[in-house]
Amino acid sequence: MIPMTLAEVASIVNGELSDSSLADRMVTGNVEFDSRKVGPGDLFLALEGSRVDGHEFAEDVAASGAVATIATKDVPTAAVYVGDAIAALTKLASVVARRSEAVIIGVTGSNGKTSTKDLMAALCESHGPTVSTRENFNNELGHPYTVCQVQPETRYLVLEVSARGLGHITHLTDIAPPDIGVVLNVGISHLDGFGSIETTAKAKGELPESLGSDGTAVLNADDERVAAMRARTSATVLTYGYRQPAAVSATALESRDGRYAFTLTTPSGQAHVALQLWGEHHVSNALAAAGVAHTLGIPVSQTADVLSSAGRRSQRRMDVFTNADNVTVIDDSYNANPASMAGALRSLAAIPTSGRRIAALGLMADLEELSHSEHSSVGTLAAQLGIDEVIAVGEGTEPIVAAIRDVATSTHGTHTGDQTTAIELIRDRVRPGDTVLVKGSRYRTWDIADHLRGAQEDQIQ
């Protein structure tokens, strides 16, 4: 965090020091809400959870070197008392963002945010000290937490900006106003919060709307709803894409067994990129990252080198490995919506394999009235792609199997009620040389992925 005294912290968060003699103590480290991560100079944020109360660890973090605890109830150590811990963190993050000289980059979209954020972070790190969102810490807690990781020397702050409804992105950009805003796509996701794809587009458009006239909006020309956001910002607009004309583009696209190479063109020149990441969707993600790099003045040759060497940083996202049973596993189980499910299936169809291609697919959550039709579309696509076997896991995935049977191809579809049954089926049917995709919303296929990981043998690079 930007160093400040406890008196400053208390003033910013409208809090009260447990002892006035603490006023001149300096916070020189980070703000942490996980007591296990607290070190000397840190500020501990005590959160009351359903199972664990952070206040119980105040003495432990003090022993680890914490300067004080931000608390909502009495603790026996140095503290800044507040009425609302998350509100206090938000106020602190807002001041940190405004005191920092870092360029703030925000990225949003219905899918691909985390992978693109990781590519942007890699590019920024090649140019200077960078702080970026860890995993998917992109909500009301994770966003200000990430901002508070900024140090005086931080040159770039890369933030994944998430939303489940209107106004969410506006709230997050108020905390840390971005200099560059990137919108990847608008798709069918979180319909429990958005209600419609039109509302989703309106919500995602809050990011370019937040930019000032001196900012840059990096917009996907291949998504018409994103391209239309040009009218919603006073910032300079830089487009990217490889299907529609764009300022940052990919030509001479070539699949290398599921990983793609292309010629990157930006307003500052051209260079060859050969991605290490699996799936055609990463071409678009890489172009978005290249648009940010161009805006920051990073040479196109350096951009191409970083994109070509970048590996997967976040868990359960297109993690391709071979396990001890000589089964190739594509663990893309972190989350799922219709667009990301289709991309994962296409990746499964493209990856080289000596055996069969098998997909274990869990529910795509929060699709509301579109759930039946979208799961049915997944089954149709799997059959059209020639996937050998699909195991649909859990309630709500029955339309996947029904659609496969309607298409009447060689694809075999089976529905299982839970992950335990699916694992038993996999034990029985999967053989050495097979390739298995695991995909679903959040935890719905994690047990299957962990079973297949087992004694992981090697990572495919």
SS3 content of the chain, % helix, strand, coil (to 5): 40, 25, 35
104 membership: H or E segment, kind and range: strand 103-108
Q: Which pLDDT belongs to residue 459?
A: 44
- Tokens 């000589």 belong to residue: 326
For the CA atoms of 348, 349, 355, 358, the dihedral, rounded to the nearest 10 degrees, stands at 50
Q: Which pLDDT belongs to residue 461?
A: 38
- Give the tens place of pLDDT for each residue, 341-397: 999 999 999 999 999 999 999 999 989 899 999 999 999 999 999 999 999 999 999
DSSP lists the bridge partners of residue 236 as 216
| SS3 label, residue 259 | strand
pLDDT at 191 over 80: no
What phi, psi does 59 have (nearest 5°)?
Answer: -70, -35
**126 CB-contact burial (10 Å; exposed 0-12 / middle 13-18 / buried 19+):** middle
Helix axes 371-384, 398-407, angle to 10 degrees: 40
Do 448 and 333 form a contact (C-beta atoms < 8 A)?
A: yes
Do 258 and 278 form a contact (C-beta atoms < 8 A)?
A: yes
Q: Which pLDDT belongs to residue 458?
A: 43
Q: Of the segments 46-55, 151-160, 309-318, which one has the largest average pLDDT value?
A: 151-160
Q: Which pLDDT belongs to residue 163?
A: 86
Residue 229 pLDDT level (bands cut at 50, 70, 90):
very high
Buried b (16+ CB within 10 A) or exposed e, 239-264: bbbbeeebbbbbeeeeeeebbbbbeb
Q: Which pLDDT belongs to residue 193?
A: 65
- Give the tens place of pLDDT for each residue, 441-456: 989 999 999 999 984 4
Q: Which pLDDT belongs to residue 118?
A: 95
Residue 137 pLDDT level (bands cut at 50, 70, 90):
confident
CA end-to-end span of the chain, whole Å? Answer: 35
Tokens of 365: 């959550």
- Tokens 């979180």 belong to residue: 190
Q: Which domains does the chain have, with CATH numbers?
A: 4-86 (3.40.1390.10), 100-309 (3.40.1190.10), 319-459 (3.90.190.20)
- Give the tens place of pLDDT for each residue, 104-127: 999 999 999 999 999 999 999 999
State mean pLDDT over 296-324.
93
